[in-house]
Structure 1
């Protein structure tokens, strides 16, 4: 599992002219799943995101989590995070999970974030989406699940 965190001042997802999710301050999460991901990966990454310290304290150091700071989540499924560009000119998406595997895991991931006290807005799984955000910082971090043994 691979998630790109973008700290944002505000963000939204629009599908076919309709806003499906919008937040003020918080994180935009671009969420990629691979065929070997499990519910354990979902739990690990959700906890990491809830706990990671990306918000400044009174001294300007990143010492607060989104739970401590306050903020919402905009979660967007993004199979292209597993695009392999090592060979040729067209990315291969063979490492991305098939929709029947990825969608339930993405939904479980969003529920797991909510279990940490976070409000989660979403895009629509599998849709062509317009994602708009004002990146704060900018702060952009990649979080991945533990390597499989």
Structure 2
């Protein structure tokens, strides 16, 4: 699985102009299931992200996790994280998981985060979404479970 996380002071997602998810302080998590991902990866990725120390403590150091600050997560499926730009000018997405497997991994990831006590809002798998965010820092981190 791949994830791009952004520390935010606020984030929201719309589908067909209607708000379907919004958070204040926390993480916007764009997530993509990849071909060959195993069923244990959504929970492992959720555990890693929940403990990632990307929020500032009283001294201004990034020492606090999403769990530590009581923050929320806005989880949005994003198959384009699988983009292969090594040939030509049009990205290829053949390494992304098939839609059925991708949706299952996406749902498992959201459930795993919620099971860790993190309030979760989300986008809609496969939908055309408009995502708005206020990146705090900015802090943006790429996580690949293969790495």
TM-score normalised according to structure 1 size: 0.96
Deviation at 1:143, TM superposition (A): 1.4
Instruction: After superposition, give the CA deviation of every residue in 1:81-122 in whole Å (9 maximum; x if it has no partner).
Output: 001010011111000111011001100000000111101000
Distance in 1 of aligned mates of 2:10 and 2:39 = 29
CA RMSD of aligned residues (A): 0.8
Q: Does 2:9 match 1:9? A: yes
Distance in 1 of aligned mates of 2:2 and 2:54 = 18
Corresponding position of 2:73? 73
Unaligned runs of 5+ in 1: none
Corresponding position of 2:44? 44
Corresponding position of 1:21? 21
Q: SS of 2:21's equivalent? A: strand
**Within-5 A mapping of 1:69-108:** 69-108=69-108
Q: SS of 2:94's equivalent? A: coil
Distance in 2 of aligned mates of 1:57 and 1:130 = 31
Q: SS of 1:39's equivalent? A: coil
Q: How many residues align?
A: 147
Distance in 2 of aligned mates of 1:38 and 1:114 = 20
Instruction: After superposition, give the CA deviation of every residue in 1:45-90 in whole Å (9 maximum; x if it has no partner).
Output: 1100000100111111111111011110000000000010100111
TM-score normalised according to structure 2 size: 0.97
